[in-house]
Structure 1
Amino acid sequence: MRAVVFERYGRPAEVREVPDPRPSPGGVVVRVEATGLCRSDWHGWMGHDPDIVLPHVPGHELAGVVEAVGSLVVGWRPGDRVTVPFVCACGSCADCAAGEQQVCAWQTQPGFTHWGSFARYVALEHADVNLVAVPEELSYATAAALGCRFATAFRAVAQRGRVAPGEWVAVHGCGGVGLSAVMVAVAAGARVVAVDTAPGALELAREFGAAHCVDARAGGTAEAVRELTGGGAHLSLDALGSPATAAASVAGLRRRGRHVQVGLLPAAAGETVLPMERVIGWELEVLGSHGMAAHAYPPMMELVRSGALRPDRLVTSTIPLEAAPAALAAMGTAPGHGVTVILPAASAGI
């Protein structure tokens, strides 16, 4: 099969032929029809993830068709349209038994713990625990945006953040996760302040219903959020993942507000210092959010089906597999806005 492969961190990847994967007894092989280009893929390419073993195929945000199933799989068959959370849980540990598959201690992650979806085929583990059916009316490109960014934002806003109608929500970083968070918060009846440095990202945030947009290049983002919201946000998310955006998210909260850290903060980013004196004195909540388990998808999928949520609007460009190496490298200097989706079939000519 054709796949994007890199052999050294931070060095150009290339598209080349590699062996097709085979399913494990409890796993499946999925024919990838669409896969999102995510900043987490860039972190992996840069060497920020200790699970990656070189040479490596990135990609974790995917949708496609089941091609082959392992001997122990009971719920899926070839031809099924599927997507998957970026955390593939084991299904048998204590966390999984409690329904918290997104923090499974024995999780696998395509594109990190093993070869991923920047390819024609990808192997996925523990299929009966992790696969999610994709309805016929949902395009593969839209479904690919669900598994990481949209599902992550949905859980961060609706479940971890406990958003309520009429609340002020600040979203720091309006890439794929941040724009998804804007959309989810607006659909929940909240008022949103979107923060970013890119005019295009802020314009999309406005289109998705943000009440105010703050250009972070001017500085003073926490103060701007507090002023625009009349005292601070009830809920604030760092959807980018940097020491500066994490601190600004916390500092922009009102008393007893809630901060949710969604963006990754790798060690290479440096030390993250939060205003803990304010966390104590104002009784702020500081929460992490790490994806969403497959069993938690139905409420989100129903909102997508009804049109209350429109993840299709997040897809701002599609590219062939040949363009993926350059697009992956560019995320370090020009992250862009919206979601770029790779279509492996288009580059393969089928």
Structure 2
Amino acid sequence: MRAVIFDEFGARPEVREVADPAPPAEGVVVRVEATGLCRSDWHGWQGHDPDIRPPHVPGHEFAGVITAVGAGVRGWRAGDRVTAPFVCACGRCPACLAGDQQVCERQTQPGFTHWGSFAEYVVVHHAEVNLVRLPDDLDHPTAAALGCRFATAFRAVVHQGRVAAGEWVAVHGCGGVGLSAVMIAAACGARVVAVDVSPGALELARACGAAVCLDGAALAGPDAVAAAVREATGGGAHLSLDALGSHATCVASIAGLRRRGRHVQVGLLPPAQGRPALPMELVIAYELAVLGSHGMAAHAYPELLRLVTAGVLRPAELITRTIGLDDVPEALAAMDRPAAGGMTVIRP
């Protein structure tokens, strides 16, 4: 098969012919019809994930068709249209047995623990726990957009953030996951403040339902961003998300909350880049909640899929660019710079 592969961290990836994968026991092989390009893939390429061992194929949010089924897999067959969470669970550890597969103790992640979906085929382990059947009227690019960023944003806003109609929600960083969070929060009846340094990203946030858009580039650091959010919301956001993953956006998100507000960290903060100094004095004085959000379990997808097929949520509108495998090396390298917003989908 053709795949995007890098031989060492930070070295420019190449498109090469590599061996086709075989289905593992309890797993399947999926022919990739569409896969998203995510900032997490950039972090992996840069060596920020300890699970990756080059040579390596990135890619973790995908949709496609099963082509081969491993021994012991029940309920799935070749030809089924599927997607899967980026966190693939074992189904047997205490976290999985509690229904928390998104924090599985023995999780696998395509594009991290094993070769991913920037290829014509990808393996999904423990298929019965992790595969999600796609509705007939949901196309593969839209389904691929759900796999990491949209599903992660859905759980961050709805389940972890416990958003309520009429609340103020601040979203710091309007890339794929941030725009997803804006759309989801607005659909839930919240009033959204979107913060980004890109005018194009803010324009997309406005189209997704943001009531207020703040240009982070025009504000002098996280304290100024937080003050602008507090002013726009009449005292601070009830719920705030760092959807980018930087020291500045994390601090600004927490500092922009009102008393007893809730911060959800969605964007990655790899230890290799240093750990941020958080304003814990505010966490204590205002009784703030600081939460993480790490994907969404496969069993939780039906709720999201119902809202997508009903047209309440419209992830297809966030896809702003479609490219082929040959375009991936340049697109991946460009992710160290602020983007115009939206999602890039790859068609292998």
The TM-score by the shorter chain falls in which range?
Answer: over 0.9
Partner of 1:317: 321
Is this contact kept in 2: 1:39–1:335, CA < 8 A? Answer: no
Counterpart-to-counterpart distance in 1, 2:53 and 2:279: 37
Is this contact kept in 1: 2:198–2:339, CA < 8 A? Answer: no
Counterpart-to-counterpart distance in 2, 1:135 and 1:197: 36
Residue 174 (str. 1) matches residue 177 (str. 2):
no
For 1:319, give the aligned amino acid.
I
How many Å apart are 1:335 and its aligned residue?
A: 3.5
Correspondent of 1:279 among 267, 276, 283: 283
Partner of 1:290: 294
For 2:127, give the aligned amino acid.
A
For 1:147, give the aligned amino acid.
G
Matches within 5 A, 1:141-152: 141-152=141-152
SS in structure 2 of the partner of residue 145 of structure 1:
helix
Partner of 2:120: 120
How many Å apart are 1:333 and its aligned residue?
A: 2.0
Partner of 1:299: 303
Q: Which moved more, 1:267-276 or 1:124-133?
A: 267-276
SS in structure 2 of the partner of residue 87 of structure 1:
coil
Counterpart-to-counterpart distance in 2, 1:66 and 1:271: 40
Matches within 5 A, 1:187-202: 187-202=187-202
Counterpart-to-counterpart distance in 1, 2:216 and 2:320: 22
Listed as ranges, the gaps of 5+ residues in structure 1 are 345-350
Counterpart-to-counterpart distance in 2, 1:10 and 1:326: 12
Counterpart-to-counterpart distance in 2, 1:97 and 1:55: 34
Deviations 1:266-314 (Å, cap 9, x if unpaired)?
1233230111011001000000000000001111110001000000001
Partner of 2:347: 343
Partner of 1:131: 131
Correspondent of 2:254 among 225, 234, 250: 250
Deviations 1:51-83 (Å, cap 9, x if unpaired)?
001100000000000010011100110000000
Residue 4 (str. 1) matches residue 8 (str. 2):
no
Deviations 1:158-213 (Å, cap 9, x if unpaired)?
00000000000000000000000000000000000000000000000000110000
Partner of 2:266: 262
Partner of 1:218: 218
Deviations 1:112-137 (Å, cap 9, x if unpaired)?
00000000000110000000011121
For 2:37, give the aligned amino acid.
L
Runs of 4+ aligned residues of structure 1 deviating over 6 Å after TM superposition are none
Counterpart-to-counterpart distance in 2, 1:240 and 1:52: 22
Partner of 1:73: 73
SS in structure 1 of the partner of residue 193 of structure 2:
strand
Give the percent of matched residue pairs that are identical in Structure 1 and Structure 2: 71
Partner of 1:85: 85
Counterpart-to-counterpart distance in 2, 1:72 and 1:25: 7
Counterpart-to-counterpart distance in 2, 1:14 and 1:155: 34
Please, what TM-score do these two structures have when normalized by structure 2?
0.98
Counterpart-to-counterpart distance in 1, 2:163 and 2:92: 31
For 2:347, give the aligned amino acid.
L
Residue 239 (str. 1) matches residue 261 (str. 2):
no
How many Å apart are 1:139 and its aligned residue?
A: 1.1
Q: How many residues align?
A: 344
Is this contact kept in 2: 1:242–1:269, CA < 8 A? Answer: no
Is this contact kept in 2: 1:243–1:269, CA < 8 A? Answer: no
How many Å apart are 1:25 and its aligned residue?
A: 1.2
SS in structure 2 of the partner of residue 331 of structure 1:
helix
Partner of 2:47: 47
For 2:31, give the aligned amino acid.
R
How many Å apart are 1:334 and its aligned residue?
A: 3.9
Counterpart-to-counterpart distance in 2, 1:277 and 1:332: 32
For 1:93, give the aligned amino acid.
C
Partner of 2:95: 95
For 2:98, give the aligned amino acid.
A
Counterpart-to-counterpart distance in 2, 1:75 and 1:145: 25
For 1:243, give the aligned amino acid.
H
For 2:285, give the aligned amino acid.
G
SS in structure 1 of the partner of residue 336 of structure 2:
coil
Listed as ranges, the gaps of 5+ residues in structure 2 are none
Please, what TM-score do these two structures have when normalized by structure 1?
0.97
How many Å apart are 1:22 and its aligned residue?
A: 0.5
